[in-house]
């Protein structure tokens, strides 16, 4: 294979990794602050995707205009969901696994009734425009994914590092009781973080519907991607999420391009296991 092919593989790996990172951001945020291990993350992503698809199909609006609609829908769902989740007792992580598993099944069947089992795509013709980078073609779709995920990560990073709310969030993630002793209103912080996480899922939904396809049972893979990236990156480390996403995307593409698609999952899994053995507290942790 010539160099241009490798460049293509790396660039499309970056785009794929950005796609993964967008999917994982909301999960990481919600899990970090609320300790809710959300197995219905993929289904929430689908709800956002279906909202965007329905708006696009009904009103014929531009892709970008579907994003605020999807975010609003997810915020509404988030308010109801938070009320329900807040009534769950300790041990929270374990109980929310059981609850959100049931919730995922409920959402799947609800979407099956509302949208049928057909595969849907939010078509956006602008994604097919191309430009040349080091002799390799990059599509506007890939570029959009890269830019959006970078922007989302940068904004979150700025909030986490350079705002008072970000400091409160980090303190709550690190030690909830200590944060409470310092006078932080942990409950309000958790609500805000949960809704911010839902808004991030709302942002990811239209991308999922446009760059992939949506169908009622299509959420499980997205949940797995989000869990893997959060484990590798570490909870609450937004910068590490994009590194983990890009890493997985590039490895998957290089393995497929050089060895074949049959080896993709196997080799990626081996690398992830090795990372966890070498850095058991995730990439972002110095231990």
Partner 1 sequence: MNLTKYLVLGFLVCIIGYLCATFQGCVKKSSSETIQIGEIDPLSGKLAKHGLEIHEGIVLAVEEINAAGGIQGREIKLIARDDQSLPEVAFANAQELIQREKVVALTGGYVDTLVGTISEAARKNKTPYVASASLQEELTKTNNPYFFRVSKLSGFVNPIVGFLTHEIKPSRIGILYASTPGSTEFAKKVRALLKVNGIAVPFLEKFKPGISDFSPLIFKMSNYDLDFIISGGFLPDHILFIRQVKENNYRLKGYLGPWGIAYQSFISQMKEDAELLFSTCAWNPGITLPGTEKKSREFVEHFRKRFNKIPNTTNMHGYTSALVILDALKRIDLNNKDLRENLRKAIASTDLVLPMEHVIFDDNGDPIDYNHVIIQIQKGRVVPVYPPERATGKPIYPMVDSKL
Binding site for partner 1 (CB under 8 A): 1, 5, 8-9, 12, 16, 19, 108-109, 112, 116-121, 123, 127-128, 130, 137, 139, 141, 211-213, 215-218, 221, 249, 252-254, 256-257, 260-262, 264-265
Whichever of 95 and 137 has its CB closer to partner 1, that residue is: 137
Residue 181 CB, shortest distance to partner 1, in Å, is 45
For residues 223 and 44, the answer to whether their CB atoms sit within 8 Å is no
Query: Between 3-34 and 41-59, two packed helices, what is the crossing angle to 10 degrees?
Result: 110
Whichever of 119 and 281 has its CB closer to partner 1, that residue is: 119
Residue 118 CB, shortest distance to partner 1, in Å, is 5
Whichever of 118 and 287 has its CB closer to partner 1, that residue is: 118
Residue 15 CB, shortest distance to partner 1, in Å, is 8
How many residues appear in the chain?
A: 287
For residues 198 and 77, the answer to whether their CB atoms sit within 8 Å is yes
Q: How far is CA 201 from CA 67, 73, 198, in A?
A: 10, 10, 5
Residue 175 CB, shortest distance to partner 1, in Å, is 37
Residue 109 CB, shortest distance to partner 1, in Å, is 6
Whichever of 37 and 53 has its CB closer to partner 1, that residue is: 53
- Sequence-ordered alpha helix ranges (H) in the chain: 3-34, 41-59, 63-85, 92-115, 140-162, 164-174, 176-181, 186-211, 219-233, 238-258, 264-278
Residue 243 CB, shortest distance to partner 1, in Å, is 19
Distance CA(179)–CA(181), nearest Å, equals 5
Tally Cβ neighbours within 10 Å of residue 126. Answer: 12
Whichever of 268 and 284 has its CB closer to partner 1, that residue is: 268
Whichever of 4 and 154 has its CB closer to partner 1, that residue is: 4
Closest Cα to residue 43, out of 212, 207, 215, 210?
215
């Amino acid at each position: 294979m010539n160099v241009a092919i490798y460049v293509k593989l790396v660039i499309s790996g970056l785009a794929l990794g950005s796609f993964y990172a967008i999917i994982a951001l909301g999960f990481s945020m919600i899990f970090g602050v609320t300790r809710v291990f959300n197995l219905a993350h993929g289904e929430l992503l689908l709800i956002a995707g279906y909202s965007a698809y329905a708006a696009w199909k009904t009103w014929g609006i531009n892709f970008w205009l579907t994003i605020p609609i999807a975010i609003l829908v997810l915020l509404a769902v988030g308010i109801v969901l938070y009320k329900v989740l807040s009534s769950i007792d300790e041990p929270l992580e374990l109980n929310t696994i059981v609850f959100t598993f049931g919730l995922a099944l409920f959402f799947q069947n609800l979407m099956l009734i509302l949208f049928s089992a057909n595969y849907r795509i939010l078509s956006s013709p602008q994604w097919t425009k191309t430009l040349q980078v080091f002799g390799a073609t990059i599509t506007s779709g890939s570029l959009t994914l890269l830019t959006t995920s970078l922007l989302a990560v940068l904004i979150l990073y700025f909030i986490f590092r350079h705002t008072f709310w970000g400091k409160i969030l980090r303190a709550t993630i690190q030690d909830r009781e200590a944060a409470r002793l310092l006078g932080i209103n942990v409950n309000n912080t958790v609500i805000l973080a949960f809704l911010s996480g839902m808004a991030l899922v709302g942002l990811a939904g239209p991308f999922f519907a446009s760059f992939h396809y949506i169908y009622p049972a299509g959420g499980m893979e997205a949940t797995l991607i989000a869990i893997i990236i959060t484990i590798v990156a570490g909870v609450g480390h937004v910068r590490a999420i994009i590194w983990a996403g890009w890493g997985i995307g590039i490895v998957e593409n290089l393995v497929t391009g050089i060895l074949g698609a049959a080896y993709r999952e196997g080799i990626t899994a081996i690398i992830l296991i090795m990372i966890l053995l070498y850095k058991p507290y995730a990439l972002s942790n110095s231990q």
